[in-house]
Amino acid sequence: VNIIVTDSYEASCGEAANQLLSVIKDNPQACLGLATGGTAQGVYPYLVEAYKQQVVSYTEIRTVNLDEYIGLKPDHPQSYRHYMDTYFFDHIDINPLNTYIPSGSQLLQPEITNFSRILEIWPRDVQLLGIGVNGHIGFNEPGGVLQAGVHIATLDTATIQANARFFASEDEVPKTAITMGVGDILQAGKIVLLATGSQKAVVLKKLLTGEEVTTQVPCTLLKLHRDVTVILDRELAWQVG
Ligand code: F6R
């Protein structure tokens, strides 16, 4: 695992954006695996700015997102489709047909099939990841087993509590999500994980300094990939030790 320590969360976002832009520079038809959540949010303004400055064009780029809440319509303000449109797609020259986010409001079984098929026909050159307080990646939550492929995940209590900040109350946070499996995540050519905040220190330590690979801390499975870059700010790095 490569580690990049930056001065600040903002600098980390700029660095993550640069990693994605360099993939696009090498391949203007690249497929980007994208993430939502509070941490990833700061990356998108840099990717939008690069388009505005004519450093990059997204006309031939494809994107596929990690996950989506079950039960939220695409236009729900907390859906990940809405997030991606608002922070990224509405501001760039990407073809909307080339952006895939699993749907949380279709019949589940056909949507699992669709999502799996997309992952097959659109191999990702790079996958952006955040990390949950419990070490989840995508919505692959800690447990005795992890799923390799696309599945419906039941959100961990810790995840529901962490995500309640985006909803009016904890009760409104969906309890399930459709997500890539860990096998899907590991199939990306390159993985860029962005982390900030002291509540991520414990699980990051298990990824960066621990010896184990365990389904109880899903991010540790990233040790099985040959090209993972973790970007974190100095404050968090200090807490990871
Ligand atoms: C988002 C995702 C999640 C988040 C993680 C961290 O698409 O798959 O794994 O990356 O929950 O979320 P934040 O950044 O809000 O702490």
pLDDT average, residue stretch 205-211: 96
Q: Of all residues in the chain, what percent carry a pLDDT higher than 90?
A: 100
36 lines ligand 1 (CB under 6 A): yes
pLDDT level of residue 134 (50, 70, 90 thresholds): very high
Find, among 164, 88, 173, 160, the residue nearest to 128 by Cα. Answer: 88
CA atoms 211, 208, 203, 21: torsion sign? negative
Structure token digits, residue 86 = 């608002």
pLDDT level of residue 162 (50, 70, 90 thresholds): very high
Render pLDDT for 52-79 as a digit per residue (tens, 0 to 9): 999 999 999 999 999 999 999 999 999 9
131 vs 84: CA distance, rounded Å = 18
- 76 CA to middle of ligand 1, Å? 18
Find, among 72, 137, 146, the residue nearest to 106 by Cα. Answer: 72
| Best probe residue, ligand 1, of 136, 150, 194 (max atoms within 8 Å of C-beta) | 136
**Would you list the domain boundaries of the chain?**
2-197
Atom number, ligand 1, closest to the C-alpha of residue 65: 7
What amino acid is encoded at 108 in this protein?
A: L
Render pLDDT for 99-118 as a digit per residue (tens, 0 to 9): 999 999 999 999 999 999 99
Predicted-complex ipTM score = 0.99
Q: Would you state the pLDDT for residue 79?
A: 98
| Residue whose token pair is 């640069």 | 18
pLDDT average, residue stretch 18-35: 98
pLDDT average, residue stretch 1-22: 98
User: Would you please indicate which residues are annotated as catalytic (active-site) residues?
Assistant: 67, 134, 136, 141
- 26 CA to middle of ligand 1, Å? 27
pLDDT average, residue stretch 133-148: 98
- 41 CA to middle of ligand 1, Å? 10
CATH class held by domain 2-197: alpha beta
136 lines ligand 1 (CB under 6 A): yes
Nearest residue CA, atom 1 of ligand 1?
Answer: 36
195 vs 230: CA distance, rounded Å = 8
